[in-house]
Structure 1
């Protein structure tokens, strides 16, 4: 087999996801929520996978109604290989197939490196790296049977630089590993799926509310765009990588950061 090649279509049709089935981990809040909305807006049926959200079912129903597609919520802990694989398989059973997997679940912490406990370090790696792999692995098994699919990892600009003034060695390391994991899998799985990653910069989500005001002021000084992004500004990139518009793109890492990594 070789990398799937779609027929030549009108460019607007290349972005159309009508009839496709997508799964989004961490899909009920933050970046994942906007990705779920974007995929649904492009015509995809979407499965939101969540772990702690109390509003996932309601969110799924709202997205479905607004876009006239099917959207369902599934609870699973991505750090548990059997649990996330069972959730992915349930999605395939319910929807009949799987075309797109957005591996988006993630957590962060701000701890001086010399003070990490084993538990604190492992929590970051369990979700951000191990959970990312388990999710991709489960999706790839489906794609291998079907013959095609698209996997999109949510990484971070922290994979390419060291953020300041916060201390987050574990998070940075996990995201750097995710970028290289995506590249590795893109080669190994070339016959049956494309694998790419997106590395967002500073995005306005609830997680930023936990950081001191002076940190945010420092970050804004360092961003050439002089503002942070709203989560919806990322959804177009995810639709692009999910669609036939990026049919020859695999192993790439799209940095979307308002120029933060450039100076």
Structure 2
């Protein structure tokens, strides 16, 4: 079976971006990038399994699970699919960061990052993939990071960088393995103005601004269009891609 093709690819481009009637789940969807993604999908017409303000004409329900616990995330995604009648879109977005010198990482510090950022992304993907395979269709979007393709400075975060590099390649692997029943893509943001960044020292932020050609942080809502694009029929021939949105940070 070939990669999914819409029955009418000639429809107006505005209709290609519509998610009306689709059902979506977003992990880590209550703040930051995840919240922006949840709102975007809802605004495009999708029913959302995440805790956000309700959009007119769509269903919004909140669910809770720890992505690093395989049984929990699998159970919740199955429940969502049952409650909504199907599960068309899953955004594997949940993630955490920490900053330690590589020679000083404890086993627990390293494991915590990998448990959430990599293992949690995989357990989310595995559960979604099984649902998609049964349905015969689905769309999986990972939230990666520019940290997957460069080494951030001045902060030291080998574990975070390694976890995100693994997620980007995981997306590529699954896009090939699951091509008959799902599309799999990745969005890799640069420096986004979320709680994760506001806790960092001013000296770090000044350093970043000097390295980003755009000269500013990205508002999370500036990512909304990218999530809708990948979730919609506007990108039906795109799978295995890593969409970098970073204000030019990775270019110089």
Specify if TM > 0.5: yes
Which residue in the other structure is 2:2 paired with?
2
2:68 is aligned to: 79
**Do structure 1's residue 239 and structure 2's residue 228 form an aligned pair?**
yes
2:16 is matched with: 14
Q: Which runs of 5+ in 1 are unaligned?
A: 49-55
Query: How far apart are the structure 2 equivalents of 1:235 and 1:211?
Result: 25
1:122 counterpart residue number: 111
Q: Describe the SS at the equivalent of 2:86.
A: coil
Secondary structure of residue in 1 paired with 2:164: helix
- Backbone CA RMSD of aligned residues: 0.7
Aligned with residue 34 of structure 1, among 29, 33, 36: 36
- Where do 5+ consecutive residues of structure 2 fail to align? none
- Once the two structures are TM-superposed, the CA of residue 207 in structure 1 deviates from its matched residue by 1.2
User: TM-score, normalising length from structure 1?
Assistant: 0.94
Aligned to 1:152, the other structure's residue is in SS state strand
Distance 2:41 2:56 in 1: 10
Structure 2 CA distance for aligned equivalents of residues 16 and 216 of structure 1: 37
**What per-residue deviation string (whole Å, max 9, x for no partner) do you get for residues 189-230 of structure 1?**
000000000000000001112100010000000000001100
Q: How far apart are the structure 1 equivalents of 2:181 and 2:82?
A: 20
- The structural deviation recorded for 1:67 is 3.2
Distance 1:135 1:161 in 2: 25
More off after superposition, 170-179 vs 202-211: 202-211
Structure 1 equivalent of residue 147 of structure 2: 158
Q: CA deviation at 1:68?
A: 2.8
Aligned to 2:93: 104
**Which stretches of structure 1, 4 residues or more, deviate above 2 A after TM superposition?**
none
In the alignment, the residues of structure 2 paired with residue 119 and residue 73 of structure 1 have an alpha-carbon distance, to the nearest angstrom, of 30
Matched pairs, number: 250
